[in-house]
Amino acid sequence: MATKVTVVHNGPIRIEGEFEIQDPSGKTFGLAGRTAISLCRCGQSANKPFCDGAHRACGFTHTVEARELPPPQPKPL
The pLDDT, as a whole number, for residue 37 is 98
The pLDDT, as a whole number, for residue 51 is 98
Residue 42 reports pLDDT greater than 90 = yes
Could you tell me the pLDDT band of residue 77, with boundaries at 50, 70 and 90? Answer: confident
pTM of the model: 0.88
Q: Read off the pLDDT of each residue in 11-22 and give the average, rounded to a whole number.
A: 97
- Which segments of 1-77 are extended strands (E)? 4-7, 13-16, 36-39
- C-alpha angle 5-17-12 in degrees, rounded to nearest 5: 35
Give, in order, the Cα–Cα distances in Å from 14 to each of 29, 35, 37, 61, 62. 16, 11, 6, 16, 15
Domains of the chain: 1-65 (3.40.5.90)
What percent of the chain lies above the pLDDT cut of 90? 95
Cα gap 34→45, rounded to integer Å: 19
